[in-house]
Amino acid sequence: MTATVSTQPRYQVVNPATGDAGQSFDFVTAAELEATLAASAEAYRSWRDVPIAERARIIARVGELFKENSARLGAIATEEMGKPLPESVDEADFCGDIFGYFATEGPELAADHEIKTFAEGKAYVQRLPIGPLLGIMPWNYPFYQIARFAAPNLMLGNTIILKHAESVPKSALAVQELMDEAGVPAGVYQNIFASYDQVEEIIGDPRIVGVSLTGSERAGSVVASIAGRNLKKCVLELGGSDAYVVLDSDDVKASADLAWDTRIGNTGQACNSNKRMIVTSDIFDGFVERLVERAKDLKPGDPAEAADGTFSPLSSRKAAELLHEQVQDAVSKGATLHAGGVLGDGPAAYYSPAVLTGITPEMRAYREELFGPVAVVYSVSSDEEALTLANDSDYGLGGAVFSTDTKRAERVAQRLESGMSNVNTPANEGQEVPFGGVKRSGFGRELGPLGMDEFVNKRMYYVAD
């Protein structure tokens, strides 16, 4: 019998600004995997009984350490996935806010809640931990994605095994170091360099009670299938193609600038980025003209320097090539590429920020998520046409509607088929604001009060008179 050899790459640092390979890490062995699962289950039995005030003290310290180490953490993220350094530092700092929020608000959010009962006694809903969880996190926000999953669940008393993306191993290890330094007990939070096959094994293990994944639609369908077969709760955030509707403007240039700055944040690699700009016809030409001006001003630059007038690479050469294929497909079928759209020389991962119009349903760009710095702009003649186009998507993560008449914007925003809907702002984002989507963007919520409402036993507790 011939053994099957896995072709999956190891955990590997590859600087997308240069294509140079750095450190690599092997997958865990079968014995290490078993030890991790056993430690998580054992730690849960004690962590759940730690008073929530004490858990809050430890979680607060994690948040403080994120802030204290934001410069060091930011440099790691920039090296591994190419994020402009100021954005990387801000991301690490924001993680401090997330852990701080749940440390402060968590005890009240997890408190027993008395409900009306017609029986002779008192009834409560309790929010109790359920056990060890698996988190599968992506590369685009290597710290933030962990924070929004880990902070509420650690506060609840669950334990966590964290499987990060293969391209950001140093980020994953840095978070483990912070957890250890903050005093998170052994086994409560464990980073693991697991292979795809090992992930399936972890989900199927009876000691694991739930799994949270942020990633692609394909990955989500696979994880949900495995979780379903094993009767495990899962939370999925699977990307989006958010509508960004501009109904009118008293300053078209400023409106376009805001849309552009939003679109190229994290070099366009944000799940809830404004991937479909829907603009009324009377301001469309001026809006596109300004986007083109912004795009043409940019040159490739070093993300570690993040100089004005430069753009950073995508996370990998493969990502840049995929985005280029999607744009070229649209152009070959009649779309207009006004600026950018140039794939730089390999092995680096530069793709010049682009402006694309004339997208039609037969093009890949109409249905697929464009995970990179491409501003796709549609022209519409009415609010109803804008709404119809906004909702004509398989995704339903977020969306935004702009108008000088707030009530007008609200009438459209109220009808967006999305998990998050915003009026006169690209997105209301914060540690206190729930995040999640509908349709093929997944299900479940993270952050805010709802962040502690997923992997929890909402137990009915009744005391008779």
DSSP one-letter code for 235: E
pLDDT in tens, 94-116: 999 999 999 999 999 999 999 99
Choice among 3-7, 12-16, 48-52, 158-162 with the minimum mean pLDDT: 3-7
Residue 121 in this model has a pLDDT that exceeds 90: yes
Average pLDDT over residues 303-327: 97
CA distances from 385 to 252, 301, 361, 425 (A): 20, 39, 15, 21
Task: List the catalytic residues.
Answer: 237, 271
Average pLDDT over residues 187-194: 98
Average pLDDT over residues 45-67: 98
Cα 245 from Cα 363, distance rounded (Å):
21
Homologous superfamily of the 11-238+441-464 domain (CATH):
Aldehyde Dehydrogenase; Chain A, domain 1 (3.40.605.10)
pLDDT in tens, 220-259: 999 999 999 999 999 999 999 999 999 999 999 999 999 9
Residue 391: partners with Cβ closer than 8 Å, 6 or more residues away: 243, 415, 416, 417
Q: Specify the 3-state DSSP secondary structure of 107.
A: helix
Confidence of residue 429 (pLDDT cuts 50, 70, 90): very high
Confidence of residue 2 (pLDDT cuts 50, 70, 90): very low
The share of the chain scoring above pLDDT 70, in percent, equals 98
Confidence of residue 7 (pLDDT cuts 50, 70, 90): low
**Residue 326: φ, ψ to 5°:** -65, -45
Q: How far is CA 179 from the centre of its chain?
A: 21
Cα 36 from Cα 186, distance rounded (Å):
10
Residue 354 in this model has a pLDDT that exceeds 80: yes
| This prediction's pTM | 0.96
Cα 369 from Cα 437, distance rounded (Å):
14
pLDDT in tens, 22-45: 999 999 999 999 999 999 999 999
Cα 160 from Cα 79, distance rounded (Å):
26
Choice among 4-18, 55-69, 393-407, 420-434 with the minimum mean pLDDT: 4-18
Q: Hey, what's the torsion of the CAs at 423, 384, 326, 328, to 10 degrees?
A: -120
Of residues 289, 295, 263, the one with CA closest to residue 276: 263
Q: 119, 164 in Cβ contact below 8 A? A: no
What is residue 5's predicted lDDT score, i.e. its pLDDT? 41
Choice among 4-13, 58-67, 218-227, 372-381 with the minimum mean pLDDT: 4-13
Q: How far apart are the first and last CA of the chain?
A: 69
DSSP one-letter code for 2: P
Residue 170 in this model has a pLDDT that exceeds 60: yes
What is residue 6's predicted lDDT score, i.e. its pLDDT? 47
What is residue 8's predicted lDDT score, i.e. its pLDDT? 63
Tokens 């999640």 locate to: 436
What is residue 297's predicted lDDT score, i.e. its pLDDT? 86
Residue 293: partners with Cβ closer than 8 Å, 6 or more residues away: none
Residue 228: partners with Cβ closer than 8 Å, 6 or more residues away: 234
What tokens were used for 444? 């479940």
List the CATH code of the domain at 242-431.
3.40.309.10
Residue 1 in this model has a pLDDT that exceeds 80: no
Confidence of residue 4 (pLDDT cuts 50, 70, 90): very low
**Residue 306: φ, ψ to 5°:** 50, 50
Of residues 239, 246, 242, the one with CA closest to residue 216: 239
Continuous H helices in 213-303: 217-229, 252-263, 281-296
